Amino acid sequence: TEYHLGLLKAKLAKYRSQLLEPPKKSEKGEGFDVLKSGDARVALIGFPSVGKSTLLSTLTHTESEAASYEFTTLTCIPGVIEYKGANIQLLDLPGIIEGAAQGKGRGRQVIAVARTADLVLMMLDATKQDVQRQLLEKELESVGIRLNKKKPNIYFKIKKGGGLAFNSTCPLTKVDEKLVQMILHEYKIFNAEVLFREDCSADELIDVINANRVYLPCLYVHNKIDQISIEEVDRIARQPNSVVVSCNMKLNLDFLLETLWEYLSLIRVYTKKPGQPPDFEDGLILRKGVTVEHVCHAIHRSLAQQFKYALVW
């Protein structure tokens, strides 16, 4: 039944979280986290030998060893893409293999770095992209990385008493109060306030309860298009969130950079002194939706306190 399935999903999510937590007394392992720099961070993820290192070397001034055999890259190699005045940090991560979420092939370190990124660039081999994409999405999903999904609009707060206060501002078709109560009881939560502001599923409620999910935009880059037919290239290119390239032949890389810029939601803001023309030489790189206060902090942290007004064109 629906209630039984919801309960099983809650148990599965709880046990997965317990498995992913490192042992408290384990020896300190060797990680490869890199200091975040630039205007945005992009994590380059993919199976071994799909062309990640070649792409890094092509788009940045960083040399990453590339070869036709698997596991050429064994650590995280950072590079910087200079595009439209922005510095975008690109991280070439070691190839993910099946079972990465359980720690195979340094999978946990790779996924931990990916969680800190602003965008995931998933590199796929165009000759076998359907299989690779499904496996990679499964690995990232199991460690709490949600690709191209928005955070569920659910208000959730644990209380000290009073039982369950359940409300919704819209009709619910996927869950009801009984199912929500069963899922919360599985997490030993008996007093809480839950408000659904949209029609969410049991999986989305579980994500909100766990509170450790990361919602990232993902761009699927299909490499080696020179090895498949024109019809297949056209089919792949029409898929959502997808770009087709050939790193060896340097095909379509300009379009990849333009799409990367759009997915990162970056904009350039130019300042103008009173009575003078705008300064188009050195613009500020910010995210779409920023306020004047954000611009003030980007210029100088004390500017916002002394600020009076601004004119925006």
Q: Report, as ranges of residue numbers, the positions in the chain whose pLDDT lies below 50.
A: 25-29, 67-73, 100
Beta strands in 94-236 (DSSP E): 119-125, 145-147, 154-158, 164-168, 192-196, 214-216, 218-223
pLDDT of residue 58: 87
Pair 254, 158: CB distance under 8 Å: no
The residues, any chain, with a CB within 8 Å of residue 62's CB and separated by 6 or more, are: 56, 77, 78, 79, 80, 92
Condensed to tens digits (0 to 9), the pLDDT of residues 105-115 reads: 555 677 778 88
Look-up of token digits 């502001």: 197
Q: Give the pLDDT confidence score for residue 27 in this predicted structure.
A: 47
Residue matched to tokens 């060893």: 65
d(CA 13, CA 2): 17
How many CA atoms does the CB half-sphere of 191 hold within 13 Å?
A: 4
Q: Which domains does the chain have, with CATH numbers?
A: 1-21+151-210 (no CATH), 40-149+214-264 (3.40.50.300), 266-305 (no CATH)
Instruction: Return the exposure string of 72-82: e unless at least 16 CB atoms fall within 10 Å of the residue's CB, then b.
Output: bbeebbbbbbe
Enclosing H/E stretch for 91? strand 86-92
Left (φ > 0), alpha (ψ -120 to 50) or beta: where does 5 sit?
alpha
What residues contact residue 70 under an 8 Å CB cut-off, 6+ apart? Answer: 48, 49, 95
Phi, psi angle pair for 135, to nearest 5°? -65, -45
Nearest 5°: the CA angle 150, 154, 158 is: 135
Would the pTM of this model clear 0.85, i.e. be above it?
Answer: no
Q: Residue 271: what pLDDT?
A: 85
Q: How many other CB atoms are found less than 10 A from the CB of residue 164?
A: 16
Write down the pLDDT at residue 71.
44
